[in-house]
Amino acid sequence: MSLDPPLGIAEMDLVDLFFPEAVEDTVRTWLLGDGRNYISDIASKLVELNTTPLTAAEATIIVPPSPPPNTNPGYNPQLDEPRPRTVTGYLT
């Protein structure tokens, strides 16, 4: 499943400042049409991934998985570390 849908606006960027109305209309049309299936599929898969909710305490200690190789050259692996719990932790 791709999150890069065929919107038919290849000649312009989604952030193109010269065609904001065209971009908005095209994206809105896609979301109300084919995009519904994409979003529904993604939501269903997310629900299937975790059927047991985490407690707040469990959620604070989970380290996110590293991105696949070559996802983002120069990726800083420190971004995957849990956030410090104290101000001192941020300063060290």
pLDDT digits (tens, 9 = 90+) for 66-80: 767 777 777 787 887
Q: pTM here?
A: 0.34
Does the pLDDT of residue 57 top 80, yes or no? Answer: yes
Cα 91 from chain centre: 29
* Residue 20 to residue 26: CA distance in whole angstroms: 10
Residue 36 pLDDT grade (very low, low, confident, very high; cuts 50, 70, 90): confident
* Residue 72 to residue 80: CA distance in whole angstroms: 13
Residue 11 pLDDT grade (very low, low, confident, very high; cuts 50, 70, 90): low
Nearest CA among 48, 77, 74 for reference residue 64: 77
Q: What is the dihedral of CA 21, 25, 28, 32, to 10 degrees?
A: 170
Q: What is the pLDDT of residue 2?
A: 46
